[in-house]
Amino acid sequence: MFDWLGENWWALWLTVFLAFAVVEMLTLDLFFIMLGGGALAALVADFAGADLWLQIIVFCVVSLLMVGLVRPVALKHLHKGPAEQRTNVDRLIGESALVMESVSSNGGLVKIGGDVWSARSKDGVLEAGQRVVVSAIEGATAVVVPQPEPVQ
């Protein structure tokens, strides 16, 4: 077994790459995939006929370069956009909604965009057909208030 591994270091580098790829899928940190890139570079060095010591140096240098140069750029691209940018249900706060079923402090239904949400009112009972504004999202419930009348 060890004789075969001594002649086929590419199998070790491929295994190391796959292990780093699996760990990266679990952590999503963009660190282990950079080490995996170093393992692939060492695999290429093995196929090019490099000695083991040179393969290890190639692994170390490429891994360090990727962690130091590529990872910060990749992280910047992943996190681009304003930090205060609202996503998912937070973007519904401030949206207009239509009361589908009378909404009280105990519950009811509103239509936000194309989706029907369970809702509760902050300000008394809101009748079906009334326009409201989403003031908060608590779990799967929209907290709504009456939509202010337009000033003329």
pTM above 0.85, yes or no: no
Taking the chain (152 residues) in runs of 10, the rounded mean pLDDT of each run is: 75 95 92 96 95 95 96 84 65 89 91 90 87 89 86 62
**Confidence at residue 87, expressed as pLDDT on a 0 to 100 scale:** 61
Surface-to-core class of residue 148, CB atoms within 10 Å of its CB (0-12 exposed, 13-18 middle, 19+ buried): exposed
Q: In this predicted structure, what is the pLDDT of residue 15?
A: 94
User: CB–CB of 17/44 below 8 Å?
Assistant: no
User: Which 8-state DSSP code applies to residue 95?
Assistant: -
pLDDT of residue 114: 85
Question: What pLDDT was estimated at residue 102?
Answer: 92
Helix axis angle, 32-47 to 9-27, nearest 10°:
160
Structure tokens, 71: 């990872």
State the Cα–Cα distance between residues 71 and 122, nearest whole angstrom.
Answer: 47
Q: Is 108 exposed, middle or buried (0-12, 13-18, 19+ CB in 10 A)?
A: buried
